[in-house]
Structure 1
Amino acid sequence: MKIAFVGKGGSGKTTLSSLFIRHLTANEAPVLAVDADINQHLGAALGLEDQASAALPAMGAHLPLIKDYLRGTNPRITSAETMIKTTPPGEGSRLLRVCEDNPVYDACARPVSLDDGEIKLMATGPFTEADLGVACYHSKVGAVELCLNHLVDGPEEFVVIDMTAGSDSFASGMFTRFDLTFLVAEPTRKGVSVYRQYKEYARDFGVGLKVVGNKVRDADDLEFLRTEIGEDLLVTLGHSDWVRAMEKGRPPRFELLEAGNRLALQALQDAAEDSYADRDWERYTRQMVHFHLRNAESWGNEKTGADLAAQVDPTFVLGERYAEAASAS
C-alpha cells in the first residue's frame, strides 16, 4: 500500500514518517521509502550519517534510465524522450514491485539497516544551486510520480513517501497516488489551516486523509484538535524522550519507544491496511489518465512535440494481473 506523510514545515512530518517506517520494519513488513521533500532529512531520521544521507542518488538525475526502463515495449510510447511525469503504463510497459531487483532500484535505491530489518530508501535529491531561478522543485518529484504510476504494491507491502511541506503536493497529480495520506498537524491555527486546505483540495478526488496530531502537550491541545478536525483526527503523539535522543543522533533501540507512541503507530498501520482493502484499481488508473491528459494539454505536448494523449491505453487497468504478466515476460 502507498502511504504519504504531509504537513506544514516543522510539524514533525519527517520524524513521523521515520517512526512509521521503523514500526513497519519491526512488524516485518517490506518497506520502500521515498524522501520527496525539498529538505532531504528522511535519511538522517532513519539513522544515516550526514555523509551517507548526502550520498543518496537523486532520482531526478536518473530520469532517462527510469523512463527507458518503464517504457518497455509499450507501442504507444514512441520514445523515452516523450515520457513525462504523468505518463501512464499500458500493454508492454514495465511495472515496479516493492520486493524485486530492477535497474531503477539499482540506480536510485539504497539499503538502510534499522534495528529490526532493512528497507530500501530513495530520494528525489535536494534543490541545488544550479536550480536557482530556473527550476521548481516539482520537476524533481516528477521521477517519483512516474514510478508510482508504474508501481504495483501488495496488501502486505508498504511504500512510504515523505512529501513536500504544506499543500505543495497539489502542484501535480501525485496526491491521488496514495491509499492513505497522513497529515501531521500541531495543535495550532496554522497546523489546522493546512489540514483544511488539504481536505478542500482533495475533496473531489476520493483521497483518503487522516490527521496525526503531533506535539500534543495536554488536554487543552487535544480538545483543540478534536474540535477543529473532528473525525479525521486519528491519533495524537506528545513529547518523546526517544525522539529527542534520535534527533541528537543517539537513538535507543526502537523497542524502547514509549508504549503510547507504539500504540499510535499501530493505529496508523491499521488505518493504512483498512484503506488498502478499499483500493479501486480502475479509479486509480482513471485518475492517472486524467492528470496525464491535463498535463499533456497544458505543457507536455508543446515540450515533447508529440500528442501525449495517444500514450493512453484505453483498455489498460493497473493491477496485479499486469504485474504478474510483466514479471513473467
Structure 2
Amino acid sequence: MKIAFVGKGGSGKTTLASLFALRAAATGAPVLALDADINQNLAVALGADETTAAGLPTLSGHVGVLKEWLRGDNPRLPAADRMIKTTPPGRGSRLLRVDEDNPAYDAAIREVVPGVRLGLAGAFDDADLGVACFHAKTGAVELLLGHLVDGQGEYVVVDMTAGADAFASGLFTRFDLTVLVCEPTLRAVGVVRQYAGYARDFGVRLGVVGNKIADPDDEAFLRTSLPDDVGLLAVLGSSAHVRAGDRGADRAIAGLEPENAAALDALRATLDALPPDRVRFQADTVALHRRNAERWAGAALLDQIDPDFVLPAPTS
C-alpha cells in the first residue's frame, strides 16, 4: 500500500512519515520510504546520522539506470532515454516490488535503519540554482511509483513537498491514501482545504492526521474546521520521544509514547482496509502522460501508451 504525507511547512509531515515507516517496519512489514520533499530530511528523521544521510545516493542521480531497467523489452520504448516521468508501464515493461533486489535499487536505494529502505529524490546542487525546478528531481520518484506493484502488508511511505506544490507534478495521484498532517491552527486547516479542493476532481483518497494536539479543544477545533469530505483519521499529541530524537537521542520507535503509537496503528489499519484499484491507477498514469505529451513533451510520446495494459496483482 502506498501512503503519502503532505501538509503545511512545519506541520510535522516528515516526522509522521518517519514514525509510520518505523512503526510498520517494527512489525516485520516490508517498507520502502521515499523522500520527495525539497528539504531532504527523511533519512535523519528515520534515524540515520548526518554523515550517512549526506552520503546517500539519489534516484534523480541514477534515473538512467532506473529507466533502462523499467524499459525491459517493451516494444513501445525503443530507447530508455525516450522515457519521461509519466511514461506508463506496458507489456514488456519491468515492474518493481517493494521488497526486491534489482539494478535500480542497487544503485539508488539503501537500508538506512533496520527494515526501512530509503530512496531520495535528491537535493539541489550548485548547477541547479536559478535554472531548474525541484520537479526535475521528483520525476524519478514518479516514474518509480508508476511501475510499482505493491501488495497487502507492504508499504511505500512518501514524504511529499509542503502544501499544494505537490500538484505541480503527477505525484499526487500515485497513492492509496494521502495523509494531510494538520496542526490545530487556521493556517494549517487552510492548507488542508486548498489541497482538498485541488484533489476532488482526481479521486484522490484523503484523510487528516492531527499533529501536536495538546488537549480536547485542539481536537474539537479540527473536527469542526475540516472540510466535510476529509475525515480526521487519528491525532498525535506532543512527543517527548520525537523532541529527544531531534536533539540527537535514539529514535528507536519502541520509545514512542503508547498513545501516539496507537494513533499510528489506527492510521495503518485505515490504509490496510482500502481496496487497491490498479485499473484506476494505470488510468491516472496514462491520463497524466497524455497531458504531458500533448502540452510539452511531444505528441509522438503518445505511442508509449499500451491501451490494453493493466497493472497485475502482486505475486508472492
TM-score, with structure 1 as normaliser: 0.93
What pairs with 1:10-89 in structure 2 (closer than 5 Å)?
A: 10-89=10-89
Deviation at 1:253, TM superposition (A): 4.0
Which range is displaced more, 245-254 or 64-73? 245-254
Contact in 2 for aligned 1:110/1:121 (Cα 8 Å): yes
Distance in 1 between residues matched to 2:59 and 2:250, nearest whole Å: 28
Does 2:257 match 1:266?
no
- Displacement of 1:204: 1.5
Deviations 1:105-152 (A, max 9, x none): 100001122xxx421111011122211111100110000000001100
Task: Write out per-residue CA displacement over residues 255-297 of structure 1, whole angstroms, 9 at most, x where no aligned residue.
Answer: 231111011000110011012xx22111111111000000011
1:164-202 Cα deviation digits (max 9, x unpaired) = 111111111211110001110111111001111111111
Q: CA–CA distance in 1 between the matches of 2:22 and 2:284? A: 31
Deviations 1:45-65 (Å, cap 9, x if unpaired)? 111111110111111111111
Secondary structure of the residue aligned to 1:90 is coil
- Could you tell me how far 1:219 is from its partner in structure 2? 2.3
2:27 and 2:188 map into 1 onto residues whose CA distance is 30
Q: Which of these residues, 122, 138, 147, is aligned with residue 150 of structure 1?
A: 147
1:1-329 equivalent positions in 2, closer than 5 A: 1-113=1-113, 117-229=114-226, 232-251=231-250, 253-275=252-274, 278-301=275-298, 307-320=300-313
DSSP-derived class of the 1:131 partner: coil
5+ residue gaps, structure 2: none
Name the count of aligned residue pairs.
Answer: 314
Give me the TM-score of the superposition, normalised by structure 2. Answer: 0.96
SS of 1:307's equivalent in the other structure is helix
- Deviation of 1:40 (Å): 0.6
Q: Secondary structure at the match of 1:93?
A: coil
CA deviation after TM superposition for structure 1 residue 252, in Å = 5.8
Aligned residues: CA RMSD: 1.4
Distance 2:142 2:3 in 1: 13
Q: Give the Cα separation in 2 of the matches to 1:273 and 1:159.
A: 12
Are 1:243 and 1:251, in contact at CA under 8 Å, matched by a contact in 2? no
| Contact 2:28–2:115 (Cα < 8 Å) also in 1 | no
Residue type matched to 1:78 in 2? P
CA distance in 2, matches of 1:138, 1:190: 25
Q: CA deviation at 1:94?
A: 0.6
Whole-Å separation in 2 of the counterparts to 1:51 and 1:7: 28
The CA distance in 1 between the partners of 2:66 and 2:118, in whole Å, is 16
C-alpha separation in 2, matches of 1:68 and 1:253: 37
2:237 is paired with a residue whose SS is coil
| Aligned residue identity for 1:287 | D
Give the SS at the match of 2:127: helix
User: How far apart, CA to CA, are the structure 1 residues paired with 2:280 and 2:211?
Assistant: 32
Residues 187 and 315 (structure 1), Cα distance of their counterparts in 2 relative to 1, 3 Å cut: same
Counterpart contact for 1:242–1:252, Cα < 8 Å: yes
Q: In structure 2, how many angstroms separate the alpha carbons of the residues matched to 1:183 and 1:235?
A: 11
Amino acid at match of 1:260: E
SS in 1 for 2:290: helix
SS in 1 for 2:112: strand
- Give deviations 1:222-280, integer Å, cap 9, x for gaps: 111111115611111111111111111103642231111011000110011012xx221
- Identical columns (%): 57
Report if the CA contact (8 A) 2:47-2:251 is conserved: no
Contact 1:47-1:249 at 8 Å conserved across structures? no
Q: Structure 1 residues 310, 215: closer, same or farther in 2, change over 3 A?
A: same
Q: 1:80 to 1:267 in 2, by over 3 A?
A: same
Distance in 1 (alpha carbons) for counterparts of 2:171 and 2:45: 23
In the TM superposition, what is the alpha-carbon distance from 1:9 to its structure 2 partner? Answer: 0.8
Which is further off, 288-297 or 249-258?
Answer: 249-258
Q: Which amino acid aligns with 1:164?
A: T
Aligned structure 1 segments of 4 or more residues deviating by more than 6 angstroms: none
Query: Matches of 1:157 and 1:216 in 2, distance apart?
Result: 29
